[in-house]
């Protein structure tokens, strides 16, 4: 055995270096992958989550109890009952089985930036599937959300969003 080690020590060293190099290559790739995961921030929705919820209201759940804060608009949308909140920034479209189907949200100035950031994060890298203009209001549809823009001081400005189920 001693004669073999003396005769083949160069080969053994080369094999160990080659195997060590392969190990280091895979180890560095794994480290880079883990670092990329750490650097990729997971967005935490604060105002709304496209295709799921706005504030305390979640699509597909039971509508809240009717009280003085809700005005019911009948026949505004065929097949749905429209509940408009008295402060006028939330509109729930409720199905006959009392589940929330869509949520319209028109935030005030202090919540607008947070909601717009959620909209940008939810639609990042996605292109709109369609758009339509009705009576000066532009609706742009993405998966799970529509932006509502109106002409303000000769510019289109997003004034609200309609959260819908993801299709």
Pairwise pLDDT comparison (95 vs 21), residue with the higher score:
21
Which DSSP letter does residue 18 get? H
User: Which of the pair, 84 or 22, is modelled with greater confidence?
Assistant: 22
Distances (CA, A) of 82 to 5, 31, 32, 38, 96: 86, 52, 51, 43, 11
List the chain domain ranges.
1-40, 48-163
Structure pTM? 0.68
- Kindly report the number of other CB atoms within 10 A of residue 89's CB atom: 16
In angstroms, rounded to a whole number, what is the distance separating the alpha carbons of residues 61 and 58? 6
Residue 75 pLDDT level (bands cut at 50, 70, 90): low
Mean pLDDT for the chain overall: 84
In what helix (H) or strand (E) does residue 57 lie, and over which residues does it extend? strand 57-58
The predicted model gives 20-42 an average pLDDT of 87
Lowest-pLDDT range of 9-13, 54-58, 136-140, 163-167: 163-167
**What are the tens digits of pLDDT across the range 40-57?**
767 777 888 888 888 888
Identify whether the C-beta of residue 148 lies closer than 8 Å to the C-beta of residue 91: no
Q: Is the per-residue pLDDT at 16 higher than 80?
A: yes
Span 84-129, pLDDT tens digits: 888 768 888 888 888 888 888 888 888 888 888 888 888 888 888 8
Assess contact for 53 and 59: CB atoms under 8 A. Answer: yes
CB-based contact 77:93 (threshold 8 Å): yes
Q: What is the mean pLDDT of residues 137-153?
A: 84
The answer to whether 159 and 150 are in contact (CB under 8 A) is: yes
How do 80-85 and 70-77 pair as beta strands? antiparallel
Other beta carbons within 10 Å of 116: 15
In sequence order, the 6+-apart residues with CB closer than 8 A to the CB of 12 are 5
pLDDT of residue 19: 95
């Amino acid at each position: 055995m001693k004669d073999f080690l003396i005769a083949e020590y160069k080969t053994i060293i080369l094999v160990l270096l080659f195997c060590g190099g392969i190990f280091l290559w895979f180890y560095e790739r794994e480290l880079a992958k883990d670092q990329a995961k750490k650097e990729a921030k997971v967005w935490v929705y604060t105002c709304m989550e496209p295709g799921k919820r706005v504030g305390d209201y979640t699509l597909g759940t039971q509508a809240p109890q009717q009280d003085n804060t809700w005005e019911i608009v009948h026949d505004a949308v065929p097949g749905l009952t429209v509940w408009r909140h008295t402060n006028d920034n939330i509109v729930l479209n409720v199905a006959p089985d009392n589940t929330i189907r869509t949520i319209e949200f028109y935030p005030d100035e202090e919540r607008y930036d947070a909601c717009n950031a959620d909209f940008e994060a939810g639609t990042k890298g996605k292109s709109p599937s369609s758009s339509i203009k009705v009576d000066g209001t532009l609706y742009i549809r993405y998966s799970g959300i529509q932006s509502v823009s109106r002409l303000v001081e000769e510019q289109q400005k997003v004034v609200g969003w309609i959260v819908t189920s993801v299709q």
